[in-house]
């Protein structure tokens, strides 16, 4: 019989004191259920990643780790954002387990979809994407903006799985390869498909947050979309080039038209229209410079190669086992 895989559930947490006491139990129940059904080994863990929370989140994680050895936690030295928190958890886990499942801490993603994810792993898949089948519980505005987000990303050349956020199973084999993607501007949804390996999707219904508030208002979502696009694609720069060619072509036609006009004795009187065009072109040029500047900014950050996460604390080390039995860190 195949050796039972060790699963680490990676849960990023930022100011989640309201939901953590509720959802931590749900994660543990799922983990023990999978262990009881001999789908995963007893070494499996729920790993919380505290992303520099300002409330009692880290205290709660520490208390949980004392209550049950299946709970462990790491803390980032400060708030670095959801993507960095997930990456920190994945990189920490990759040497201790066979599979990871990253999931938000607010109970919005259906925990039961983990069964199908682990089954897909048993069937040979190394990456299993959790995809939202519908968003009935989201407000119209959230649904509209979130779906627009995926369409915009794909249209701009950053290929992502439609309606998949960061709820996914990744094997440690894939994580070892993902660790070689050294970029500091991380957008996991776009990076994971680039690694390749056999993958599939599992569909689930997204529910409402159990408690607390979303940390992803429209502004942050737009920042994430723009970050994703500029991290994964150079299509915006190509669009600027195409736009430049179009404008140059139109200007050429305009010049021909003006020359013909002057030969026919029709002098151009419009001052306002000239100013309008100058202002419009000035705006477009600034916008294009901004987009190019964004890429230069990214190059600047990449050349600095600062650490993508800094782990300041870990819950009791004895809870982290090595994959080889009995080996302690």
Residue 214 in the binding site for ligand UDP (CB under 6 A)? yes
Residue 98 tokens read as 């066979």
Q: How far is the CB of 29 from ligand UDP (least distance, A)?
A: 18
Q: How far is the CB of 218 from Mg ion (least distance, A)?
A: 14
Among 216, 284, 288, 322, binds ligand UDP (CB under 6 A): 216
Residue 23 in the binding site for Mg ion (CB under 5 A)? no
Sorted by sequence, the CB contacts under 8 Å of residue 135 that are 6+ apart come out as 142, 143, 146, 147, 163, 206
Residues from 74 through 103 that contact ligand UDP (CB under 6 A): 79, 81-82, 85
Span interacting with ligand UDP, options 150-158, 210-218, 307-315, 317-325, rule CB under 6 A: 210-218
Cα-only R_g, the chain:
25
- Residue 299 CB: number of other CB atoms within 10 A? 10
| 136 vs 134: CA distance, rounded Å | 6
Residue nearest to ligand UDP (CB): 214
Residue 14 or 58 with smaller CB distance to ligand UDP: 14
Sorted by sequence, the CB contacts under 8 Å of residue 86 that are 6+ apart come out as 10, 12, 49, 102, 166, 188
CA distances from 88 to 98, 224, 227, 293 (A): 17, 18, 19, 28
Among 7, 9, 10, 12, binds ligand UDP (CB under 6 A): 12
Q: How far is the CB of 315 from ligand UDP (least distance, A)?
A: 17
* 235, 159 Cβ separation under 8 angstroms: no
Helix (H, G, I), strand (E, B) or coil at 75: strand
Residue 83 tokens read as 């993507």
3-state SS of 158-202 is CCCCCCEEEEEEEEHHHHHHHCCCCCCCCCHHHHHHHHCCCEEEE
Number of residues in contact with Mg ion under rule CB under 5 A: 3
Using CB under 5 A as the criterion, what x/- string covers residues 168-197 for binding Mg ion?
------------------------------
Q: How far is the CB of 209 from ligand UDP (least distance, A)?
A: 6
| 40 vs 44: CA distance, rounded Å | 7
Residues from 98 through 127 that contact Mg ion (CB under 5 A): 104, 106, 108
Q: How far is the CB of 78 from ligand UDP (least distance, A)?
A: 10
Residues from 130 through 189 that contact ligand UDP (CB under 6 A): none
Q: How far is the CB of 104 from ligand UDP (least distance, A)?
A: 4
Which parts of this chain interact with Mg ion (CB under 5 A)? 104, 106, 108
Which parts of this chain interact with ligand UDP (CB under 6 A)? 12-14, 16, 51, 79, 81-82, 85, 104-106, 108, 214-216
């Amino acid at each position: 019989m195949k050796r039972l895989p060790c699963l680490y559930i990676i849960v990023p947490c930022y100011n989640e004191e309201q939901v953590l006491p509720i959802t931590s139990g749900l994660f543990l129940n799922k983990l023990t259920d999978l262990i009881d059904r001999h789908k995963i080994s007893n070494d499996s863990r729920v790993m919380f990643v505290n992303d520099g929370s300002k409330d009692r989140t880290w205290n709660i994680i520490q208390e949980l780790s004392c209550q049950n050895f299946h709970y462990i936690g790491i803390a980032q030295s400060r708030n670095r954002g959801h993507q960095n928190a997930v990456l920190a958890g994945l990189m920490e886990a990759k040497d201790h387990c066979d599979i990871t499942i990253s999931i938000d801490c607010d109970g919005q993603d259906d925990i039961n979809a983990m069964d199908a994810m682990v089954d897909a792993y048993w069937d040979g898949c190394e990456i299993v994407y959790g995809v939202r089948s519908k968003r009935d519980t989201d407000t119209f505005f959230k649904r509209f903006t979130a779906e627009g987000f995926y369409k915009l990303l794909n249209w701009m050349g950053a290929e992502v799985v439609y309606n998949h956020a960061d709820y996914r199973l990744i094997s440690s084999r894939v994580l070892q390869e993902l660790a070689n993607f050294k970029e500091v501007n991380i957008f996991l949804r776009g990076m994971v498909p680039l690694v390749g390996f056999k993958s599939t999707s599992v569909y689930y219904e997204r529910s409402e947050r159990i408690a607390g508030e979303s940390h992803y208002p429209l502004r942050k979502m737009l920042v994430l979309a723009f970050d994703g696009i500029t991290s994964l694609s150079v299509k915006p720069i190509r669009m600027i080039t195409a736009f430049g060619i179009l404008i140059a072509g139109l200007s050429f036609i305009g010049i021909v038209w003006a020359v013909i006009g002057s030969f026919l004795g029709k002098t151009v009187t419009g001052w306002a229209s000239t100013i309008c065009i100058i202002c419009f072109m000035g705006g477009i040029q600034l916008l294009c410079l901004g987009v190019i500047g964004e890429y230069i900014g990214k190059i600047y950050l990449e050349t600095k190669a600062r650490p993508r996460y800094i782990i300041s604390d870990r819950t009791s080390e004895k809870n982290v086992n090595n994959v080889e039995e009995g080996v302690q860190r």
